[in-house]
Structure 1
Amino acid sequence: MTHHTDADAQARPPLSEQELSWAADRLGALSTAFSNRVVGQSALRTSLLVAMLARGHVLLESVPGLAKTLAASTLASAVDGSFTRVQCTPDLLPSDIIGTQIFDQSTAAFRTELGPVHANIVLLDEINRSSAKTQSAMLEAMQERQTSIGGVVHPLPDPFIVLATQNPIEEEGTYVLPHAQMDRFLLKEVLDYPDVSEELEVLNRIEDGSIDAPAAPAVSTNDILTLQNLTRRVVVDEAIKRYIVDLVAVTRHPESALSDSAARAIEYGASPRASIAFMAVARALALLDGRAHVVPEDVVALRHAVLRHRLVLSFEAQAQRVSPTDVIDAVFKAVPTP
């Protein structure tokens, strides 16, 4: 991962009107391609676009049947990228995901067979069903953007985005994702059931066949790489950075700013990854909104998705079924907006 210093930022020119309108055009095309096949799920669409712009990964929590696979494959075809889906099971081995070396009889030599993680968009279904060893292999690939098979390093394609799903209902035979690994996901989105009109629309689209029509590529993978570079050039004012850091600080020292009951709900606060995520997400949202600079609303907009998997609630809070969203809202109320 390349780290950009402040000198880099100074060297990066602010976005021009021309670049902003090009970005709006490409993002509009992507958004339309998504909505043409996936009914409703606007929060999921925003999260996927943000993750793509910010080079992040998304953890999706939802019951089965809410079009997660459709959303991921639609996104892949809309960006003209490759898509793979891995159904996680307890017997899945790291080599099943990363790839392995196979002895080829005809040449009497080993050849490398790359695994399904070598795709632009990878859907890991029910990641909490795979063993800790397989989870860590996957998370290493997400973090390093490369895999090593038989001592040879294979870079992953660019753009590369992982959507991992977990089903909150079945706990049987699942391995809970360790907190440190959840932290590697830029966003955690919780999907809800569609409303009645959306569900009717799903039935109508199934009937007229439009849901099965393959999505034509709306943009190219090169467009996505350009959009990612533009996102990095969105200006984040010093006051906004300060706002982000103050928010994350409250999660670590809740007693300093929250009411006693809200403070007791937080066992562990968020790591610096949360601050980095807030800045990356805010930049992506600004570009999605056609702006060359971040406003405080960009930090607030996806606050639940950025923080819900980064806070550890106390045992007492869990026993009282305190929702993470309420705790996050309390944190945001405690810090004045710049």
Structure 2
Amino acid sequence: MENINFIKDKYIFASIPSMLLVGDSAEDTRNRQIALFLKELTKYNVLIKDLVNYNLKEVDRNIALNVAHYIIENDELLNIIVNKLDLPISRLSKLTKIKSEYIEKWRDYILAYYLILSNPNYRGIQDYLRIVLREDNNGGYVKNNKQQIYKGLVIKSSKKSAYIVTSKGEFLRIKTNDKINPGDVCEGSLKKTLKNYRIHISILLLILIVIVSGIIIEYRRAQSIVVIETTSVIKIHINKYNKVIYAYSPTEKGKELINDVNMLNKDVDEAIADTFEYAINNNMLDLSKKTLITINGQAIKYGLFDKTNKIITENKIPIVINNAGNQQKLPKYLSEDENKTEK
């Protein structure tokens, strides 16, 4: 039995409609068979939702069908699968001459077909599948892109949807108006899942990536450079949102200041105020002469230096501000008490 040759197109799913026994007794029998089938599927770590979400094309389903038949006819493979509850992928690949990655991809379908076809207790499910020898098939199945309604044997159901297996071996999820029982035959349009919208999702993600990339690029672009001449020169790069995106000093003391102040992503006013506060506390300012603040590039809007003004006024730090070529004075700072007095 081990020397039988594998024929990948010996059997196919045909397009001829299925004929099933009707009546409460027949439906109850199929219901019990389906319950056993689902239980057996879980032993092999196969879920109905996975079969639905990774539905195979017709040509791949036909090959998976022939692999399932080949397993049933091969005692060696049967014993391995029964004992390990899984496909011996490498061995199966060697015997069928099918690449391992394809067998891995078709694994769930191969196991589902194998379980249905190998168990005589699943006669009701077997009868619904239309499997014929290729030479006996009259015409085969031609896909109709306008076809919106799918018909199949109910495997599992919920209030407004049902998982079905069609006569062509497809596992699908369809919409239903009423709750359908397993074992019934029903029809309906496909229940949409995220997989059905993957093109739309991909386009949306691409748009979001472009937008986010643009924002990041814009955020990281320096619009102004503030140079503060303490005993160590401190250079601060500012973006269009008045946030610090880079800071540099050529001296060790200046680098310590930048690290301790941790000014990255801070508002420019807060960063400069913290710089002066650190400089005062660490003897990095000569209060006998004016400290120069030079702004190169885009001028910073007047009135943004409230925190800086407070630190400079309270510590009596003499400064000169060159704002993109224009000398600028800070407005007179009033303490809370002075504000109350003026009011």
Q: Give TM-score, length-normalised by structure 2.
A: 0.27
Structure (1 or 2) with the greater helix fraction: 1
- TM-score (structure 1 length as normaliser): 0.27
